Structure 1
Amino acid sequence: MVKIEIPARKTFFHTFIFFVCMSGTMVSNGQINPASPVDEVNSMIGTTGTNSTEYGGLIPTVAPPFAMTQWCAQTRESSISRTSYHYNDKTIMGFTATHQPAVWMGDYGMVTISPQSGTLFANRERAMTFSHQEEKSTPYGYSVTLNTANGGKIKARLSATSRAGLMEFTFPASDSSYIFIEASRQEKFIGWIKYDDKRNELIGYNPDRQSALLGPPLKNFKGYFVVQFNKRPASFGTTYRDDIFVGQTEQSGDRCGAFLRFITAQGDRIATRVGTSFISIDQARNNLNTEIPGWDVQTVMDKTKKEWNKYLGLISIRGGEKNERTVFYTALYRTMQYPREFSEYGRYYSAFDDIVHDGVSYNDFSLWDTFRAEHPLLNLLMPDRSGAMIQSLLQMYKEGGWLPKWPNPTYTNIMIATHADAVIADAMVKGIKGFDRSLAWEAVKKDAFVAPAGDSTNKWADRAPWTAYEARGGLTWYNQYGYIPSGCTNENVSETIEYSYDDWCVAQIARLTGHLSEFDFLMKRSKNYQHLYDRSSGFFISRYANGTFVSKEKSNEGMTEGSKWTYLFGAMHDIPALVQLMGGATAFEKLLNENFDSSHYHHDNEPGHHYIYLYNYINKPDSTRQKIYKYTPVNYRNTPDGLSGNDDCGQMSAWLVFTSMGFYPVCPGSTDYAVGVPLFDELKVTIASADLKSHTLVIRRKNFSPTHTKVKKVLIDGSAHQGLFFKHSELLKARKITFWMM
């Protein structure tokens, strides 16, 4: 998600012809991705941009797929709208265990490890300069050389597992080599840390939760940690804010920490390993001993690298220029980070009832974004994890009373609508197992039919301090008028359109669970978006309770992160009816063209991600493919600023993965994929069915060249495919899909 609508880029890194020519040239070389696809990943993509917040919003994390805790070099203190690492920064403050899922969400339960030499600093002055030339970042390991204030150098290496991290610091000769641990840093959130001399171990916790004001209070929430060292210190102490207490073993406060001092010869290495938990200190220690029993960073790197190659190996590619392969595998890597694991060997802390439960859990669902392509991709590639993620959402419903909107890690009212409905619907229509279908119906039915507390008076402003869970804010008015009138909520137009889509999704679940009267009712109500279509202007605009539309000057009001153009084609569940509403195929095509040609289309935010594929609905697939060729290289590049918008827990990246395969899920909750064009000569995709039986689908692009960019025909297992959509069932059965170009 982004917070403002920004102009499309005027200067493209690639033009359409440059992109096609590069691809065509490399096709003849027949290059195949290496046996280690993780080494194609550039984790620096999306770590900076032309705007302080409207860029990829990503950090170069080290952790295995879907890890509970990620590790990252800390170039700045994170906050909402500010990540721990930014490529343009010149200094590093330490290495942080982070749980910040996206730039516009807060971190929580973090802990930072900072090597130092010379003078000890417990504040921001501990930052040391570094050079990107002496920095290496991969998903499985990170290394950098830090320049100390007294002219020395500290070399740092780290790797991580899902719940633990291991760092190795190579120090200069000094009698004042330090490892400092920042246990807490959020004001008014009291952390605690203690050094156990017998164990040579630091233990602690903090209740830090940067999004705390956006959700309900959590009395029992804590991020616990255990920090162990392979060498004993010469001395130790604690810190509170800027004050240092040598010899003290225990400290608490809203900015507390501890340190160990070592006497080192040139090149001495000190290893530090950290276990994390949301359950207890004992569980953090157990997580550490289970996942990192030794002290060798390379061993952990090899283990995590193997795990990444297993997951990234679900798709292998042939053809394409090196930069394009890097962009693709980096995108695939980003789709395999969230939702994050939140359970710890059969137990999990729930931020929805504030207690510990038995079971498996995932958290950090960016649902307004990821329902579109991220979750459909998981359904296609790893339905076992997807089923567990759906069950996690249902556990949140049982423990808190509602399905979440954007858990971080508890309820927040960030973004609009109840798109957990869409995620569950997409899983159910595709036969995903591993969750309680009856409970799923109960949960989504509440979303569709129960207005939240205070709904008739609360306008549900975005990021307002927590008062009550929003769910479908304005549902009271939506039921009464068939739309949410102007002035009743802050984002009434977007909400009306998205509630209509969610109604359609809940209807699919009703059908699959045998609730046919609710199915009929919700299918009719899913047409509510049409009540806001103003035929005189040709847009969906706000409408008063008396039925009149707002003035032209107010026609962009009531929108979520955009304008009337942003939501013009938003009713993804009802495109054929939308075409007719706008005057038929010719008029619809004209509006689509204007949307793109007049720079109203913003790929850097999610509402328009399906727009390129809408030409298929009016039998204009060449226009879909032309837009794919044009907008893909503009928005995805192998540079630190190479992602045009916030990745939002994998959604921007999932769009590229689907598009590269040659199809896209325009309407999650259906089993259709709009057909596009593959961006590589060959993709071998390991697809898993709902019963977890896997097979390889080979997608080939034949006869492609700079002068052969259109699709002549599509064959599935040698037979001509009719139409411009694939069915999910076809993908599960197919072994070969061939796109013949002309």
Structure 2
Amino acid sequence: MKKAILFILLPTLLFAQDFAKHVNPFIGTGGHGHTFPGATVPYGMVQLSPDTRIDGSWDGCGGYHYSDNLIYGFSHTHLNGTGVSDYGDIMLMPTMGEPSFDNKVYSSTFSHANEKAFAGFYSVKLDKHNIDVRLTTSTRVGFHEYTFNKDGQANIILDLNHRDKLLFGEVRIVNPTTIEILRRSEAWARDQYVYARIEFNVPLKVNLVKEVNKENTKLEGIYKGTELALSFSKQVKKGEKILVKVSLSPTSYEGAKLNSSEIKHWDFEKVKKEAETLWNKELSKIEVTSDDKDKLAIFYTALYHTMMQPNIAQDLDGKYRGRDNQIHRAEGFDYYTVFSLWDTFRGAHPLYTLIDKKRTSDYINTFIKQYEQGGRLPVWELASNETDCMIGYHSVSVIADAMAKGITGFDYEKAFEASKASAMRDVLGLEAYKKNGFISMDDEHESVSKTLEYAYDDWCIAQMAQIIKNGNEVAHFSKRSENWRNTFDWETGFMRPKKNGGWDKPFDPREVNNNFTEGNSWQYSFFVPQNIFGMIEAYGGPEKFEAKLDEMFNSESKTTGREQVDVTGLIGQYAHGNEPSHHMAYLYNYVGKPEKAKEKVHYILNNFYKNTPDGLIGNEDCGQMSAWYVLSAMGIYNVSPGNIEPSWSTTEPYFENIKVNFENKTSKIITKNMDLSSFGLEIIKRELFALPEKITPVPIIQSESKAFKDKLLISMLDKYENEKYFKYLIFYKIEGQKEFNLYLTPFEIDKTTKIYAYKTDMGMRMTISDTISATFFKKPNNYTINIKSKYNPQYHAGGPEGLLDGILGTENWRKGDWQGYQSQDFEAVVDLQEIKSITEISTRFLQDQRSWILMPTKVEYYISEDNVNFTYFGLVNNTLDPKIEENTILNFTANETNNKKARYVKVIAKNFGKLPEWHQGFGGDAFIFIDEITIK
């Protein structure tokens, strides 16, 4: 029963309260939070922070880790809690004495006892030369204050090769107090442009230059190259300060000069105060009160983390670098970057629709421009680059949610056009998804997760179509949104991967593998936000669904399969440290058990967020981890962003008093006994939106294997969800036949065969499923194999016979057709079953060095008639550069012109060994990936 609504509308006053004082920027800088402690303002272009990590390591993605005691410098761009490393642009480091460009020399130790961080401010003492550093910032300008505590030569090192790869650097000396910089770099963003203007408050002279691969130029005071560093110096007395302002621009030197006008003076304290004022303005949008200072610190730091990105990416005159790498001007909106949409569509963007409608509109206008300039909506956009990181096309969730909540300021029709264009592409499994209604392991890796997330995104597009009254598209995308049913196995009660038309075996719902995105089946089997009641029905009704949730939360907190660093914060198989689990506690509300939702939500609030450096249970992920805390502390969460009848799923608020101040100058107070389902939502009267009818799920074509020697039994026995009687008819045909036949009983095949099948509903609807196909291969020989090495169970290619089945893997090894061996050589003996003349032996290997998969250094072949005494047949050395980033397949082939007779063939492939220093996994063990052994 809904409780009485208590909405108190109040005019929003100018707040004198200091909310910024509660922010602790060190939260998340330890553990696996990946945050940074430096100075920034809300949604600012500059994130000025110390870098203690330069190797791109997992826990160094934000440039800083609390466990470190060495600072390499202070750079002006940082990512907040991501799982991939980038940024760290325009790094400055003050030193004393003789300058050096060796970062082991110019770096300095520091102590946390001499380190402070507040909203918009950071300070530290560098031990090596007794230099005090203070940092603050405006939106586009970073402000440094260096105090040199002894006499001598002071240096400011500018190292453009800091962290990621420098594609091209340029430094122009304008005058002794001003320099201009261009840095083009490659990391996660493959071609990032940063222009900068550095201004010193006193003249400095260039006293050392490192310039590699420099361009020939006769212009004095201009330095260029792919390695570039300069030192600027002056003599200082004890206690003397040098002030530095660094303005950034994504477009040009002129843009950086224009942006430098944000700070026209040298008053550090004034800039620091202005940054604090900006933070108080934003943080005052949600007021909470508590006697517990830790709870206040956790809440306001969480709110602070949600406001560190997306980042403004245009100059003061509106110019920005578009997805086409051309310069454009934003008209009527602000252009942003850093969209971690796989994470943030779940909680952060719904929070923005509540307290930041104008920026939500700006984000969507940014999406539309990226579609117009780059041909598609962003997936994970960074610095005008599409990283293609993570899955789905979740821009459409942000757009649909804004439209559903009545947010204006962008073109609804153009937004729908862009969304539809993203959904109709033929990449990343979408071609198979559109054709078959699901993605198979044969089609694409992470097949289950992609099927589920595409289905949700399609529902979002259907919601948009309903709003703009496009009935045909409503029907089309509503049907697609039900494709989750094609991955749901009613018998096991899990979303499950398919291979070659049937369920993949063996199946362990706890296993983290390449069929899921950063998780396992437990963590994806509840992702149907577009049709929660349909999902509950599929599980057998409310009681069985509740029992399934209970089982998840009460299972052993241990996963199997691949070690996945993202899967943290386990409560049973619920993983709060990664985003796919974030809505699950609220699902208890949908089966009438709000007390269980409250229990789980409050347990997470109490135990997984702390006022300590390791106070986040997982990656911050650009505000999503913190957005969950902010919303849940308010007692609300948006389980289904994009719903045309928007509402919040609710629980008991975490604070006694919560006041939300909106952009329209009104406020609402949350009390513990109020109905929050429509809190802060501008509900617009619309026609009722009919839920899509259930689709007819595709049939299951099951067999023992994909390849066989003599004969193979094919079964299509299929029950309907929890029914014990047959509700569907299955029709099939073998390639070459003209007509489909009614399936009645299992049948055998004895040659390579492609089978097509579909189902029809026997009820009144008479709906027909998508037609699927499966291909079964008769092996080209009767050879057997004895593998002496031990393959990783994640990469088994169907077992030992997978190396002799004639089925060749592709460059996308994640689809499961390759065998993987780590920390060992590969050795196997093939039995030809009889003595034969051998003229050629060949083995296929794959290299994907970014995934630690490298070619063997060499492959040796031996032959024998008795499997005891082997003689040499041939040796093939690797010729592929291990640094090549493109996935590459090579055949290691040995030939013999003279007939050599043997029954047994031994293959030995030598592992690359430890990963070298140039590799991001330096010191780790390389994999060998092998697919097929061919003997002629």
Q: TM-score, normalised by structure 2?
A: 0.66
- Structure 1 CA distance, aligned partners of 2:167 and 2:75? 18
2:91 is aligned, of 82, 90, 112, to 112
Q: Which amino acid aligns with 1:597?
A: N
Residue correspondence of structure 1 range 577-596 to structure 2 within 5 A: 577-596=534-553
AA in 2 matched with 1:413: D
Task: Answer whether contact 2:247 2:256 (CA < 8 A) is retained.
Answer: yes
Supply the AA of the counterpart residue of 1:267.
G
Equivalent AA in structure 2 for residue 193 of structure 1: V
| Alpha-carbon displacement from aligned partner over 1:223-242 (angstroms, at most 9, x marks no partner) | 11111111123663423479
1:614-673 per-residue CA deviation (whole Å, 9 max, x = no partner) reads 000000000000111211122110000000111111000000000011111011112111
User: What is residue 373 of structure 2 aligned with on the other side?
Assistant: 399
Is the Cα–Cα contact under 8 Å of residues 489 and 496 in structure 2 kept in the other structure? yes
Give the equivalent residue in structure 2 for 1:651.
624
Residue in structure 2 matched with residue 638 of structure 1 by the alignment: 611
- Identify the match of residue 196 of structure 2 among 191, 212, 225: 225
- Rounded to whole Å, the distance in 1 between the matches of 2:411 and 2:631 is 28
* Match in the other structure for 1:138: 118
**2:498 is matched with which residue?**
543
Which of 379, 382, 394 aligns to 1:408? It is 382
Give the alignment partner of residue 201 of structure 1, picking from 169, 175, 178.
178
Q: Which amino acid aligns with 1:280?
A: S
CA gap of 1:72–1:529, structure 2 versus 1, over 3 A, is same
In structure 1, the partner of 2:142 is 165
Partner in structure 2 of residue 369 of structure 1: 343
Residue 190 (structure 1) shift: 1.9
CA–CA distance in 2 between the matches of 1:116 and 1:189?
26
1:11-64, CA deviations, whole angstroms, 9 ceiling, x for partnerless residues? xxxxxxxxxxxxxxxxxxxxxx98111110000000111xxxxx1111113111
Residues 170 and 269 in structure 1, CA contact (< 8 A), matched pair in contact too: yes
Gaps of at least 5 residues in structure 2 are: 1-14, 215-219, 556-571, 686-936
1:100-121 deviation digits (Å, cap 9, x = unpaired)? 3543234247101111012312
Task: Determine which of 32, 37, 42 is the counterpart of 2:19.
Answer: 37
Q: Considering fraction of residues, name the structure with more helix.
A: 1
8 Å contact kept, 2:586–2:597: yes
Per-residue deviation, 1:552: 2.4
Match of 1:449 in 2: 424
- Would the aligned equivalents of 1:507 and 1:523 in 2 still touch at CA under 8 Å? yes
1:94 and 2:73 correspond: yes
Q: Which has the higher contact order (CA 8 A, sep 6+)?
A: 1
Query: Structure 1 CA distance, aligned partners of 2:165 and 2:623?
Result: 31
SS at match of 2:95: strand
User: 1:608 Cα shift?
Assistant: 0.7
SS for the counterpart of 1:520 is helix
Shift, 1:195, TM fit? 2.3
Instruction: Identify the range of structure 1 (382-391 vs 545-554) with the bigger mean alpha-carbon deviation.
Output: 545-554
Alpha-carbon distance between aligned partners in 1 of 2:99 and 2:503, rounded to the nearest angstrom: 67
> 2:484 aligned with 1:529, yes or no?
yes
Shift of 1:674: 0.6
2: distance between equivalents of 1:79 and 1:102? 13
> How many angstroms apart in 2 are the aligned matches of 1:237 and 1:205?
19
1:6 is aligned to none
Q: Does the 8 Å contact 2:546/2:588 carry over to 1?
A: yes
How far does residue 284 in structure 1 lie from its aligned partner after superposition? 0.7
Cα deviation, residue 413, structure 1 = 1.5
Counterparts of 1:728 and 1:293 in 2: how far apart (Å)? 40
The offset of 1:447, in angstroms, is 1.9
- The aligned counterpart of 2:10 is none
Q: Which one-letter code corresponds to 1:141 in the other structure?
A: F
C-alpha contact (below 8 Å) 1:402/1:447 kept by paired residues: yes
Q: Do structure 1's residue 384 and structure 2's residue 358 form an aligned pair?
A: yes
Are 1:72 and 2:49 counterparts? yes
| 1:672-731: CA deviation from partner (whole Å, max 9, x where unpaired) | 11111111110111134xxxx231111123xxxxxxxxxxxx33xxxxx4xx84365379
- Partner of 1:603 in structure 2? 576
Give the counterpart letter for 2:544 in structure 1.
A
Aligned equivalent of 1:174 = 151
Q: Distance in 2 between matches of 1:600 and 1:34?
A: 45
- The residue aligned with 1:262 is 234
Q: Distance in 1 between matches of 2:602 and 2:595?
A: 11
The 3-state SS of whatever aligns with 2:530 is: helix
Residue identity in the other structure for 2:481? S
Give 1:566 deviation, angstroms.
Answer: 0.6
Q: Taking structure 1 as reference, are residues 335 and 684 closer, same or farther at Cα in structure 2, changes over 3 Å only?
A: same
Show the counterpart of 1:304.
275
1:336 aligns with 2:307: yes
Q: Would you say the 8 A contact 1:74–1:95 is kept in 2?
A: yes
CA contact (8 A) 1:109 1:222 kept: no
Q: Which residue of 2 aligns with 1:470?
A: none
> Alpha carbons of 1:477 and 1:80: their partners in 2 closer, same or farther (altered >3 Å)?
farther
For 1:208, what is the secondary structure of its paired residue?
strand
Query: Are the structure 2 counterparts of residues 511 and 346 from structure 1 closer, same or farther at C-alpha, using a change threshold of 3 Å?
Result: farther
Distance 1:222 1:549 in 2: 45
Shift in Å at residue 438 of structure 1?
1.2
**One-letter amino acid of the structure 2 residue matched with residue 628 of structure 1:** V
Distance between the aligned counterparts of 1:88 and 1:108, measured in 2? 21
Q: CA deviation at 1:396?
A: 0.3
Q: What are the residue-to-residue correspondences of 1:145-164 with 2, within 5 Å?
A: 145-148=125-128, 152-164=129-141
Contact 2:406–2:683, Cα closer than 8 Å, also in 1: no
Alignment partners' CA distance in 2, 1:527 and 1:662? 30
**What is aligned with 1:684?**
659
Is the Cα–Cα contact under 8 Å of residues 534 and 549 in structure 1 kept in the other structure? no
CA 1:234–1:541 in 2, change beyond 3 Å: closer, same or farther? closer
Equivalent residue for 1:563? 520
Question: What secondary structure does 1:194 align onto?
Answer: strand
Larger Rg: 2
1:159 to partner: Cα distance: 0.7
Residue 456 of structure 2 is aligned with which of 501, 520, 526?
501
Q: 2: distance between equivalents of 1:78 and 1:426?
A: 38
Query: 1:467-525 CA distances to partner (integer Å, 9 max, x unpaired)?
Result: xxxxxx21111122211122210011111111111111000011111211110121122
Whether 2:594 is the aligned partner of 1:621: answer: yes
- How far is the alpha carbon of 1:193 from its aligned partner? 1.3
Aligned to 1:322: 293
Equivalent position of 1:464 in the other structure: none
1:71-110 Cα offsets, whole Å, 9 max, x none, are 0012222637323111111121221111435432342471
SS at match of 1:167: strand
Aligned to 2:731: none
Residue pair 2:258, 2:316 contacting (<8 A) in 1 also? no
What secondary structure does 1:238 align onto? strand
Matches of 1:508 and 1:351, distance apart in 2: 28
Matched, 1:348 2:319: yes
1:188 CA displacement: 5.4
Residues 430 and 235 (structure 1 numbering): CA distance in 2 closer, same or farther, change over 3 Å?
closer
User: Given the alignment, which residue of 485, 506, 516 partners 2:471?
Assistant: 516
Higher strand share: 2
What displacement does 1:574 show?
0.9
| 8 Å Cα contact 2:36/2:78 also seen in 1 | no
- Alignment size in residue pairs: 639
1:207 partner SS: strand
Alignment-mate amino acid for residue 519 of structure 1: V
2:519 counterpart letter in structure 1: G
TM-score, length basis structure 1: 0.83
The question of 1:191 aligning with 2:165 is answered: no
The answer to whether the Cα contact below 8 Å between 2:635 and 2:652 also exists between their aligned partners in 1 is: yes
Q: Provide the C-alpha distance between the structure 2 equivalents of 1:242 and 1:142, rounded to a whole number of angstroms.
A: 36
Kindly tell me: are residues 284 and 367 of structure 1, through their superposed partners in 2, closer, same or farther at Cα, counting changes over 3 Å? same
Aligned to 1:3: none
Partner of 1:480: 435
Report the AA paired with residue 175 of structure 1. G
